[in-house]
A and B are shown apart, each in its own frame.
Chain A
Amino acid sequence: MKRIIAIIALFGLTTSAWAQYKNEYNPESSIYDRYVTFNISARYGVSFPMGGQQGYIDKLSPTNLALDAEWLFPQRFSIGLKTGYQYANQRLPRQVYQNGDESISAVQTRTLSIIPVMASLSYYFADNAAAIRPYVQMAGGGAFVDYTNYFGPLADQKSGFKGAIAPAIGLKYYGRREQGFGAEIQAQYQNVFFNYDLLKNSAPSLMLSAGIVYRWY
């Protein structure tokens, strides 16, 4: 009887150890697949003005930073927060502008700064622990916009918090399963519902960004 109990106990211990072993090393039951896990991302981007924004600044902006934080759910989707900093500027040679009855001769330096504050919903085409994770994303929220058009050193400024949407597609690459650090590329169309003077209708842009990601639990 004692021997039987001993065998059962031994069996129980070894199987539980075996089960643990299986849990840790079987990719099918990664921690990422069982719990809500986290991902942060920081990317540098170039931005191309579109639509109404082209009437104000029509050249590429090389000064953009994107920051994302995401809660990854086991069902391949994530909810996140997006922010960053986008800055575009353009200097125009001296020109005469009409402002009502006034003629203004000035060198214009046009600037546009945008700080987005958005919530995002993403769907991934691979599980949370995968090495390569392509995704589609829809983000919405608002953005702090600062429009400052300098006439010489004098500023014509308008700023405010406006609504914004930003659908995106991208790819996260971690090198191997369950690895924390990785890289990300993203193409994002962003439309900020801001208009003032030379910037008519709204301020859409296309941003291509690349950077680093880190996931953990």
Chain B
Amino acid sequence: MHMLQQHKSGKGSLWAILLLLTAVGGLSSCRENAVNDLSPADSPVYITNYDRSINFGQYKTFSLPDSVIIESNDAYAMTQNSISTRFVTNVASALTSRGFKRVAKGDSADLGVAIIRVNNQYTGVASNPYSYYSSYWGYGGLGGYGYSPYYPSYYTYQVTDQYWEIQIVDLKNRASTSNGQQQLNVIYDATIRGTDITDTQAVDLATTAIFNQSPYLQVSQ
């Protein structure tokens, strides 16, 4: 009688353990799915930074080419399409609304504005596929960015890095290096990360957000 009971209970607990393991397995995928439902408007990350020693009120004019720079690893090219045109138009109108005046191509200006499409690819062997991001976000509290300890120590990876960047360069105050060459300082930088921009509507959202979080881009009255 007891033998039979023990046998039965042994089977019961085995089923219970199997059931529990299944439950744990199902739940452990929670974090992986955390951002699967992000809408296209919620996905982009807009990062801006500027030179704190600069008073943007001193600049009056800016130069902005009609095409954007394509940066692919270390090669540069120019391009023009509906998205790039939208970028140029939006950035130009935003800067104009802040009091800056756009000059014709070739005329001298206080500021140089560059719209860059970065298109980089990295292939290699490393212990951490996100090491590029670690160094990118390295300054500040976001260290260990994207690091996951569950990957094997060494394997081949390929990272495709595509994003948009807006740079503003100081053409008014050009520093000279020791060998007499002139140096242009980047005084403002904005990058659009997180997701690629595929339509003009996304361009509008991006430029609106970027200029809203950069109120210091303003000509002094």
Contact = CB atoms under 8 A, between A and B. Distances in A.
A166 B42 CA distance: 37
Contacts of A96: 213
A87 B38 contact: no
B4 interface: no
B140 interface: yes
Among A85, A151, A217, residue most surrounded by chain B Cβ atoms (within 10 Å): A151
Interface in A100-123: 100-107, 109, 111, 113
Size bin of chain B's contact surface: 35 or more
Contacts of B121: none
Interface string A55-66: 000000001010
Interface residues of A, number: 40
Contacts, number: 126
A138 to B, nearest CB: 23
A180 B12 CA distance: 10
Given A103-B48, A107-B42, A214 B34 contact: no
Interface in B100-155: 133, 137, 139-142, 144-149
Contacts of A33: none
Given A85-B28, A107-B38, A216 B46 contact: no
A104 B42 contact: no
Contact of B146 (A94, A109, A155): A155
B194 A102 contact: no
Given A65-B27, A85-B27, A105-B213, A152 B38 contact: yes
Contacts of B139: 100
A89 B195 CA distance: 21
Contacts of B23: 42, 65
B175 interface: no
Contacts of A84: 24
Given A42-B16, A102-B49, A152-B42, A216 B141 contact: no
Contact of B44 (A152, A214, A217): A152
A100 B194 CA distance: 20
B24 A65 contact: yes
A26 interface: no
Interface string B191-221: 0011100000000000001100110000000
Interface in A145-191: 146, 148, 150-159, 180
A63 B45 contact: no
Nearest to B189: A102
Nearest to B44: A152
Given A104-B47, A152-B194, A216-B9, A89 B34 contact: yes
A216 B13 contact: yes
Given A105-B213, A152-B44, A99 B16 contact: no
A151 B13 contact: no
Among B9, B27, B209, B213, residue most surrounded by chain A Cβ atoms (within 10 Å): B27
Given A154-B133, A157-B145, A103 B30 contact: no
B164 to A, nearest CB: 14
Interface of A: 40, 42, 63, 65, 67, 84-85, 87, 89, 94, 96, 99-107, 109, 111, 113, 146, 148, 150-159, 180, 197, 214, 216-217
18 contacts: A42-B23, A65-B24, A65-B27, A85-B28, A101-B52, A102-B47, A103-B47, A107-B43, A109-B34, A113-B30, A154-B193, A156-B144, A159-B148, A180-B9, A197-B141, A216-B6, A216-B13, A217-B6
